[in-house]
Amino acid sequence: MVHRAVFHRVREKLAGERALITGGGSELGGAVAELFAREGADVCISCSPDEVGAAEETRDAIERAAGRPCLIAPGDLEDPAFCRELVMLAVDELGGLDILVANAPSPMRLPGDRMTADGLEHAFRASLFAYVHLAQAAIPHLSLGSAIIATAPVAPELADYAACAAAIDEYTKVLARQLADRGIRINAIAAHADRADAAPACLFLASPADASDITGIVLPIGT
């Protein structure tokens, strides 16, 4: 797995920050994790049990390029209990939490006429519901200047994931309004999980120096 972070000019925009990034076995999640680590953040990544190998590649790349450890936490984000446990693990191991990146998985490419109720429920649990559970668990540990960034899966030809993306977008905007007075920034990017080139957008939204006054927006990447 090769990430665009390899060609990134480091400016230490996240020095001292602590980040939890889900979907660490995907192209986008891995690229975000490596880029954040290069910029000075301590990173914990989660992945599904069948993506541990890819997550380990990301961890190794981080340790080589940034000279810092990377924690891997495999598990099922469709399980609310795991979402809560994951946040607490990151808080305990990193000594706190400043950034949450809720990275939605790649959609299954089934046409609308083959969509099932079970498939629709799976799409929402893996993306929207996981985002909600992670955010709820993380918010008590966040403070002024912290950031939550969601990825909304881009698949306009797939009805289930298009619905998920719309829900993620609206939840992001509502949560941003609710947490504005606490100085916690909530934003999203609209990108496919395989688009590693969306990682700089996550860095921009995570960086207090770049996006301290930006909250409640959805950045489209390559859509």
pLDDT-based confidence at residue 118 (cuts at 50, 70, 90): confident
Which residues form the catalytic set?
161
Nearest C-alpha neighbor of 143 from the set 102, 99, 177, 178: 99
Question: How far is residue 46's CA from residue 173's CA, in Å, rounded to a whole number?
Answer: 25
Percent with pLDDT over 70 in the chain? 89
pLDDT at 6 over 50: no
Domain 12-220 has CATH 3.40.50.720: yes
Report residue 157's pLDDT band, with 50, 70 and 90 as the boundaries.
Answer: confident
- Report whether 180 contacts 173 (CB < 8 A): no
Full-model pTM: 0.92
Residue 8 pLDDT > 60: no
Residue 46, pLDDT score: 97
Domain residue spans of the chain:
12-220
pLDDT tier, 162 (very low <50, low <70, confident <90, very high otherwise): confident
Q: To the nearest whole number, what is the mean pLDDT of the chain?
A: 89
Q: Cα 213 vs. chain centroid, distance in angstroms?
A: 20
pLDDT at residue 38 tops 70: yes
Backbone φ and ψ of 51, nearest 5°: -115, 15
* pLDDT tens profile 127-154: 999 999 999 999 999 999 999 999 987 7
C-alpha angle 2-15-94 in degrees, rounded to nearest 5: 85
Dihedral angle sign, alpha carbons of residues 31, 34, 40, 45: positive
Judged against a pLDDT cut of 50, whether residue 4 lies above it is answered with: no
Confidence of residue 108 (pLDDT cuts 50, 70, 90): low
Residue found under tokens 């099922």: 76
Phi, psi at residue 55, to the nearest 5°?
-65, -35
Check whether 2 has a pLDDT greater than 50: no
pLDDT of residue 76: 95
pLDDT grade, residue 5 (50/70/90)?
very low
